[in-house]
A = this chain, B = another copy of it.
């Protein structure tokens, strides 16, 4: 059961699709980032603006990987779910999946976010007030998988 995981429903916009009538591939990455942005605000309690105010940038600083499982077309509704795969000293590995109500999967995204200092762009420890909710959510993810 994935009901405990953070998720967002959305649909494929007309302007996100190309003349072939399917999604222009980079838009999937934006869908993932949009969801992650809300995850920071709602689950971690620190928006990207809050991080910036503390001179930290929480950016996809290492790697992003997108797997296309089946093509998205305009108006297709789907749910993106976020889980945490790994937490390091200054990085967090997120896994996201886009799935419709019938369980059809459209994409998987893995993003390694790196906390870097805005002063020198060097990696920095995950702030303690963010590490706490990260660890708690990581527990939820592991429990969800185990079931």
Q: Do the beta carbons of A20 and B74 come within 8 Å of each other?
A: no
The chain B residue with its CB closest to the CB of A68 is B61
**A14-B19, A25-B64, A64-B25 as given contacts; A71 in contact with B48, CB under 8 Å:** no
Question: How many residues of A are in contact with the other chain, CB < 8 A?
Answer: 40
Main secondary structure of the interface of A (DSSP, over half): mixed
Q: Any chain B CB within 8 A of the CB of A142?
A: no
- Of the stretches A30-38, A82-90, A97-105, A130-138, the one at the interface is A30-38
The answer to whether B62 touches A67 (Cβ under 8 A) is: yes
Contact B19 A49 (CB under 8 A): yes
A57 contacts the other chain (CB 8 A): yes
Interface residues of A in 38-61 (CB under 8 A from B): 41, 47-49, 52, 57, 59-61
